[in-house]
Amino acid sequence: MKKTIMSLAVVSALVSGVAFAALPANDSSKATLDFTGNVTASLCQVKTDNLSQTISLGEVSKAALTTNGKGEPQSFEINLVNCDTTTADIAYVLADANNSTPSTGTAPDYLVPKSGDTAAAGVGVFVQTSTGDKVTPGATKTLKADANNGSAYSEQRIPLRAYIGTLNGQPGVLGNAAGQVKAGTVNATGVLTIKASATNVNPVP
């Protein structure tokens, strides 16, 4: 009985398929699927679910900024996968998606938050390594790959942290004047370019 039922089900599906194929064009709908990806020469690839991240920096009071000049750092990391066993160095450069380098060639050492009617003022988003070293936009940072007996692990990570701080990193002044701290939302976007290499790497272009 089971074999008969299964056979009938297959026949039914085939008949239905024929009927579906015969439908007029205006009796059906179409969906276009665009697939994106990237082929890289880097010895490591960014883990797919790390390609785009939202890091919450929480809330920091104006009072805290006037006292300490910064909020509490929040940790996050970029995970790399499929790393070649010869990987020795991992270099990365942080770029500010909301701000271009001034004509003077001097870029701020923080990510510039997006402006707007409800945006905070007098603050920036500062990124650091897990040990507290500053990650300045436009400057190359390099770390050694984790390895065992000279053979790099297939999974690597770049541990970082970030916080909201006053523009000069010093206790700020409350108010609405330029350069002073004003309450509001803080939304900044950074793009991290990563290059894994088997030898000491040159600055990431």
Domain-wise residue ranges, the chain? 45-198
* pLDDT, position 154: 96
User: CATH number of the domain at 45-198, out of 2.40.50.100, 1.10.300.10, 3.90.25.10, 2.60.40.1090?
Assistant: 2.60.40.1090
* pLDDT, position 75: 96
Amino acid 92 reads Y
Query: Residue 196 phi/psi, 5° resolution?
Result: -100, 140
Q: What share of the chain is helix, strand, coil (3-state, %, to 5)?
A: 15, 30, 55
* pLDDT, position 178: 47
pLDDT, tens only, 17-49: 445 555 566 777 788 888 888 888 889 999 999
| Residues above pLDDT 70, as percent of the chain | 78
Using the predicted structure, report yes or no on whether residue 16 has a pLDDT greater than 50. Answer: no
Closest CA to 94 of 56, 124, 49, 59: 124
> Do 123 and 186 meet the contact criterion of CB atoms below 8 Å apart?
yes
How big is the chain by its Cα radius of gyration, in Å? 26
Using the predicted structure, report yes or no on whether residue 174 has a pLDDT greater than 60. Answer: no
* pLDDT, position 73: 96
Answer yes or no: pTM beyond 0.85.
Answer: no
* pLDDT, position 204: 52
* pLDDT, position 102: 52
Sign of CA dihedral 64, 65, 70, 73: positive
C-alpha span between 111 and 132 (Å, rounded): 16
Using the predicted structure, report yes or no on whether residue 155 has a pLDDT greater than 90. Answer: yes
pLDDT, tens only, 69-123: 999 999 999 999 999 999 999 999 999 998 765 555 677 899 999 999 999 999 9
Query: Residue 151 phi/psi, 5° resolution?
Result: -110, 115
